[in-house]
Amino acid sequence: GAPRAHLKIDGLSAGYGAFLVLRNLTLEARPGLTVVLGPNGAGKTTLLKALNGLIPRQGAVLLNGEELPEKTHETVQSGVALVAEGRQLFPQMTVTENLELGGWLVPKAERARRIEQAFNDFPKLRERASQLAGTMSGGEQQMVAVARAMMSAPRLLMLDEPSLGLAPKMVDELLGIARRIADAGTTVLMVEQNVKKALAVADRGYVLERGAIVASGPAALLARSTVIREAYLGAD
Ligand code: ATP
């Protein structure tokens, strides 16, 4: 098969107009599941936007050694998909129609094959194939958003707070889905505020505070680190 995606970010700066949120960030997403943790406003969403070409950036962003394009539609063609916060589904369209739109670049027969694959991967969505996306629960909608992103068969999947606003059981289900996608060969870069659960499924993690990385490492080590225990999990 194709080599697994390895994203290397070196000296990344990005922000809004003159307001720099990220300064000289260095981070990598190796094959597997990498999580970026951090408080509100730390710049986690800004990082994913900069990678996806939604805001301008400076610095090197390499996917398997090749510079990632700065235009969103070109990042899709380079094999990058983003599930944005808020999911951005088409609420008046069915689950199937949302998936079809996720595969708009894909020839029809292949698109049908991928929808079938999505229904195999997300059996709950098969039952809901003709339900309007806007009438689904938050967790179900998040599932549709992930399945839709997978329709472009990305090498790198970026998830912005997939567990946001979900009940604990759904959080576990969504994080489990992220883990399975990583195990199936798509490199996953996930932003999360659910520190404990995210570190439990991730391979590696970074802690972002005020636009800078303050800690990083293997997820199991990070979970035991002082910065995580004191600031996010409550020291015992
Ligand atoms: P959250 O979990 O609350 O979304 P975050 O870590 O994802 O937090 P960002 O959304 O990246 O944080 O925001 C980082 C900083 O950039 C914040 O100070 C925020 O106010 C600012 N910011 C975000 N979007 C814009 C925008 N469109 N214009 C100006 N400033 C923005």
For residues 139-165, give the mean pLDDT: 95
CB atoms within 10 A of CB 137: 11
Dist. CA 44 → ligand 1 center (Å): 8
How does pLDDT run across 105-129, given as a tens digit for each residue? 899 999 999 999 999 999 999 999 9
Dist. CA 162 → ligand 1 center (Å): 17
Helix spans in the chain (H)? 44-51, 72-77, 95-102, 108-121, 123-127, 138-150, 168-183, 195-201, 219-224, 226-228
Cβ distance 37 to 208 under 8 Å?
yes
Mean residue pLDDT of the chain comes to: 93
**Model pTM score:** 0.94
Q: Note the ipTM here.
A: 0.92
How big is the chain by its Cα radius of gyration, in Å? 17
The response to whether residue 36 sits with its C-beta less than 6 Å from ligand 1 reads no
| pLDDT at res. 7 | 98
Residue of 149, 4, 181 whose CA lies nearest to 75: 149
How does pLDDT run across 215-229, given as a tens digit for each residue? 999 999 999 998 888
| pLDDT at res. 88 | 84
Dist. CA 41 → ligand 1 center (Å): 5
| pLDDT at res. 236 | 47
The response to whether residue 41 sits with its C-beta less than 6 Å from ligand 1 reads yes
Between 138-150 and 95-102, two packed helices, what is the crossing angle to 10 degrees?
30
The response to whether residue 34 sits with its C-beta less than 6 Å from ligand 1 reads no
How does pLDDT run across 182-214, given as a tens digit for each residue? 999 999 999 999 999 999 999 999 999 999 999
38 CA: nearest ligand 1 atom: 6
| pLDDT at res. 234 | 62
